[in-house]
A and B are shown apart, each in its own frame.
Chain A
């Protein structure tokens, strides 16, 4: 079981728990504002962009090749950007904090 905290654009802090699937699915299932997941989690839409808290980045790791390229579609990427459909939920990421990137 992993606890994951999302910080939305309205500065709402929501902590949810999951033990399988990917982080985008977990966010959508908990109606986290700003994570749309339009492609269903196959790294094709870039609607699941988050900033990983600096302290947690090592736990989560770097983006893969196509993911890193897809992130360039976004205007506001940072070195801590990830598409969260590419992050698997597992004990290894317990306690991480993710800030939703979408601005609208």
Chain B
């Protein structure tokens, strides 16, 4: 059956690597070849802005799988190899070094790259970094140790920018976060949580500056100055750009696959071409629970979609039907999110302590999502309630002395 077949995977990160091991486990007997332009053995990305940065950890403590396990599972890891073209008529891919490889099944796990906004002077700036891969962190570390004053400006107050700010602060830097919107995390959460995180950062000595659209970066000697639309300016030895991502859809769009905010796939993770699947951050996929298409940037989605694609490729009909979850760690704060809050029209805050609470998002009476701060119980029960479609007694929920297990109606 699959003995003489070859499965080629483009991208060896959370999605690609989990897919390769899942495919082997599903009984695929043919070749599995993972290509990635990154030269490092595949590693966990979430720690890059958190513990890995803060503790100056080694990447070897953060590998997705140990090096030997690829060989043991007969998975070929082709690192430092960039795929430059797909020929779907001949079922081959071409690498930027000119070599090519044929496939029977192709899996796109190309993820996303950090977006670099077109700010005047950004290309000439010194010690400026995005944060998407291990190399970025190496650059940040080197610049950090070489810098005397350790004045760091983070452009963008999203999760990655804020986590990076927290980690660098703990390392002893002076950090300012410049956010274009009127609050940090504006795209992903509610004003209440934005205010909470602003407070946490400020009490840890990180300056959170909002309504700061960066228009220009100037360089004098070694010193950058970041200039905002309102005329304010911030000196910076190091600049971290964390303003979001661009999905790596180029290879897919060149061969005419349907692109729609990401590579469009069906519930089996198949693209608009039958021999080509796509998984992880690069996909625009249907979420059954919320009855709409979404693009997610999360380990959960990468891992779960990888398993679904592997099962379908060996002929086991499997539908992607996962409830999204996500986390972020900053200082002593653990944020855990389950579900997607987009479209909520009312919410309930359950406050169990200054740094322990949860926000429950509803559309009418339907529970859509829960944000938990240092509160595993809310996260876990929220997960169960959303999955069960439970109706919540909001008065009981609001009361922090009530037993969370007893807040459902009927």
Binding site for B on A (CB under 8 A): 21, 25, 28-31, 36, 38-40, 42-45, 65-70, 72-73
**A66→B50 CA distance, assembly (Å):** 19
The reply to whether the CB of B179 lies closer than 8 angstroms to some CB of chain A is no
The reply to whether the CB of B264 lies closer than 8 angstroms to some CB of chain A is no
The reply to whether A65 and B376 form a contact with Cβ atoms under 8 Å apart is: yes
A15, chain B: closest CB distance, angstroms: 17
Q: A21-B61, A39-B299 are in contact. Are A72 and B336 (CB under 8 A)?
A: no
B318, chain A: closest CB distance, angstroms: 13
Besides A42-B47, A45-B300, 11 new A-B residue pairs in contact (Cβ under 8 A), listed by A number: A28-B65, A40-B44, A40-B47, A42-B46, A42-B51, A42-B329, A45-B299, A66-B375, A68-B376, A70-B379, A72-B377
- Hey, which chain A residues are within 8 Å of B130, CB to CB? none
Main secondary structure of the interface of A (DSSP, over half): loop
The reply to whether B44 and A70 form a contact with Cβ atoms under 8 Å apart is: no
Main secondary structure of the interface of B (DSSP, over half): helix
Nearest residue, chain B, Cβ from A67? B376
The reply to whether the CB of B268 lies closer than 8 angstroms to some CB of chain A is no
Nearest residue, chain A, Cβ from B405? A72
B191, chain A: closest CB distance, angstroms: 25
- Hey, which chain B residues are within 8 Å of A36, CB to CB? 303
Nearest residue, chain A, Cβ from B304? A38
The reply to whether B377 and A31 form a contact with Cβ atoms under 8 Å apart is: no
- Against A, the Cβ 8 Å flags (1 = close, 0 = not) of B323-335 are 0000101000010
Binding site for A on B (CB under 8 A): 44, 46-47, 50-51, 61-63, 65-66, 68-69, 72, 299-300, 303, 327, 329, 334, 336, 374-377, 379-381, 383-384
The reply to whether B376 and A66 form a contact with Cβ atoms under 8 Å apart is: yes
The reply to whether A44 and B66 form a contact with Cβ atoms under 8 Å apart is: no
**A67→B380 CA distance, assembly (Å):** 11
**A66→B378 CA distance, assembly (Å):** 10
- Hey, which chain A residues are within 8 Å of B44, CB to CB? 40
Nearest residue, chain B, Cβ from A30? B66
Q: A31-B72, A38-B303, A42-B329 are in contact. Are A73 and B377 (CB under 8 A)?
A: no
What are 5 A-B contacts defined by CB distance under 8 Å? Answer: A31-B65, A31-B66, A66-B334, A72-B377, A73-B380
- Hey, which chain A residues are within 8 Å of B68, CB to CB? 31
**A45→B47 CA distance, assembly (Å):** 14
**A23→B329 CA distance, assembly (Å):** 21
A40, chain B: closest CB distance, angstroms: 4
The reply to whether A28 and B303 form a contact with Cβ atoms under 8 Å apart is: no
Nearest residue, chain B, Cβ from A70? B376
A45, chain B: closest CB distance, angstroms: 8
Closest 7 CB pairs of A and B: A69-B376, A66-B376, A40-B44, A44-B327, A69-B377, A29-B66, A31-B69
